[in-house]
Amino acid sequence: MKEISSPIIQKAQLIKAVICDVDGVLTDGGIIYDNNGLELKRFNVKDGQIVKYLKQYGILVGVITGRASQVVKNRCEELKMDFHYHGISNKAEVLAAILKDYKLEAEEVAYIGDDINDLPVITKVGLAATPNDGHFKVKEFVDLVLEAEGGKGTLRELGDIILTAKDNYGEIIQQLT
C-alpha cells in the first residue's frame, strides 16, 4: 500500500460506513451474457475478504448500484452486506436514507464510485474514492484515486486504508497468528 497522506488518514479515522458502486468498482465493468441470456460477472475475492474485517470493527458495508442484477444481489447476500440497493437512478436519495436509517453523519461515510453518475454521492461523503481507471472527471472530485482498477480489489484497498487509520490491523494479525 502506498503512503497515505495525513488528511486521508484523518478522514478514514471517522468512517463508520463504506458504500460502493458495483460495475467498474467491484467488477471491471464488463458484463457477460451466455447464449441463454444468463448474466455473468467477475468479483474479486479480496473485496469479499475485507468486508468481514470491516464489519468486525463495526463498520457498515453496503452497495448502491444503478443496475438491477440478480448476480450482484447474490454476491451482496453472500458477503452479508448490511444493505444493498439495486436499480437506483438517484443515488443521493438513497445515501440520505442510509444516513437517516443508520444515524450517520456524511463525514462518517466512505464511498467508491467510478463514473459521473456517482458524483451526487461522491460530493456528499466524508471520504470519496475512485478506482485507478475511474472516469477522468470523477478523479477531480474524490479525495483518493486508488491504486487498484475496478474489479481488482478497490474495496479491499480502501478497507485496508480505513482499518490501518483506525489502528485495527495489529489486532487482526494477532488473531490470525
Residues in the annotated binding site = 21, 23, 114
Binding-site residues for Mg(2+), in ranges, read 21, 114
* d(C-alpha 44, C-alpha 22), whole Å: 11
Closest CA to 26 of 101, 88, 84: 84
Which pairing describes strands 39-40 and 32-33: parallel, antiparallel, or unpaired?
antiparallel
Closest CA to 28 of 112, 156, 150, 158: 150
Q: Which amino acid is at 122?
A: I
Closest CA to 154 of 34, 51, 40, 12: 51
Binding-site residues for substrate, in ranges, read 23
The rounded Cα 121 to chain-centroid distance in angstroms is 12
* d(C-alpha 17, C-alpha 58), whole Å: 9
Q: Which amino acid is at 73?
A: K
